């Protein structure tokens, strides 16, 4: 990504609203709402120099923002800049913990290997399966012949043991999958994983209450120095309660799994 030029100089962008945000950021580089405003204006402009300078500057200020990285990589992919997108993935997927960025990567791999209405070649199918498992291992996010069946079963069982959104729907899908594979043996497979699923379902409900409060009290998607308003204090308290709940090991994990979570 090129170094910013417009944002690092006093030169006008030629767009009054962008200049306004530039001035705000000169006074306060941590003004998250100004960064988001500048990026919004840059995306709607026809000024590529401003667009890339805005993202370069924002990512220099927030290098570990998965949201910024994901939106920038989607921008590059939409413009056909494959090498730039791949560079972002290579440099950040394992260094920036972001489900949003992993989702972008999964979409990129699917688009490159799966074409609607066309039978997927074995090598492409293998690539997609490996990608799904990689995403699952690194984000705890879900995904949908003997080797294929075993992999799907392993993935389903992992997914229903995690407090994922719509875990109940995933369980129903897994139930249908086992019934299709072997109606007689489905009950045995489901009963083995049922306790983990019940724990995950309960944890999801508890976790959702924490996250509802966190989202309701969040002012910006980018961090900025606190001024300790009542809303910010409530937001901090919500995070503390959530982290205390996580430390209590609600999924009753053991060994490396508990440490990793």
pLDDT > 90 in the chain, percent? 26
CB neighbours of 238 closer than 8 A, spacing ≥ 6?
Answer: 210, 213, 214, 217
The pTM score is: 0.57
Across 4-29, b (16+ Cβ under 10 Å) vs e yields bebbeeeeebebeebbebbebbeeee
Average pLDDT over residues 73-85: 92
Q: How confident is the model at residue 4 (pLDDT cuts 50, 70, 90)?
A: very low
Q: What is the DSSP letter of 248?
A: T
Longest distance between any two alpha carbons in the chain, whole Å: 73
Q: How confident is the model at residue 250 (pLDDT cuts 50, 70, 90)?
A: confident
Residue 128 in this model has a pLDDT that exceeds 70 = yes
What confidence tens digit (pLDDT) does each residue in 186-202 have? 888 899 889 989 988 88
Residue 256 in this model has a pLDDT that exceeds 70 = no
Go through the chain and tell me how many residues it has: 261
Query: What pLDDT is attached to residue 106?
Result: 85
CA 239-243-244 angle, to 5 degrees, is: 115
**Residue, of 105 and 260, whose pLDDT is higher:** 105
Q: How confident is the model at residue 8 (pLDDT cuts 50, 70, 90)?
A: low
Query: What pLDDT is attached to residue 3?
Result: 47
């Amino acid at each position: 990504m090129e170094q910013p030029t417009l944002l690092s100089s006093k030169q006008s962008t030629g767009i009054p609203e962008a200049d306004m945000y530039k001035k705000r950021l000169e006074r306060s580089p941590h003004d998250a709402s100004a960064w988001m405003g500048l990026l919004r204006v840059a995306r709607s402009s026809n000024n590529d120099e401003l667009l890339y300078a805005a993202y370069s500057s924002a990512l220099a200020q927030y290098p570990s923002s998965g949201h910024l990285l994901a939106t920038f990589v989607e921008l590059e992919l939409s413009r056909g800049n494959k090498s730039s997108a791949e560079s972002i993935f290579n440099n950040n997927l394992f260094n920036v913990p972001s489900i949003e960025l992993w989702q972008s990567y999964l979409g990129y791999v699917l688009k490159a290997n799966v074409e609607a209405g066309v039978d997927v070649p074995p090598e492409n199918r293998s690539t997609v399966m490996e990608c799904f498992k990689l995403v699952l291992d690194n984000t705890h996010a879900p995904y949908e012949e003997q080797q294929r069946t075993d992999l799907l079963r392993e993935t389903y069982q992992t997914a229903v043991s995690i407090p994922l959104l719509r875990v109940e729907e995933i369980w129903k899908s897994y139930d249908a999958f086992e019934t299709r594979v072997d109606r007689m043996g489905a009950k045995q497979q489901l009963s083995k994983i049922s306790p983990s699923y019940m724990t995950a379902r309960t944890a999801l409900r508890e976790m959702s209450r924490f996250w509802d409060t966190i989202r309701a009290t969040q002012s910006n998607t980018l961090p900025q120095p606190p001024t300790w308003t009542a809303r910010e204090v409530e937001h901090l308290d919500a995070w503390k309660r959530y982290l205390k709940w996580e430390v209590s090991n609600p999924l009753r994990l053991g060994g490396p799994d508990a440490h990793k979570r």
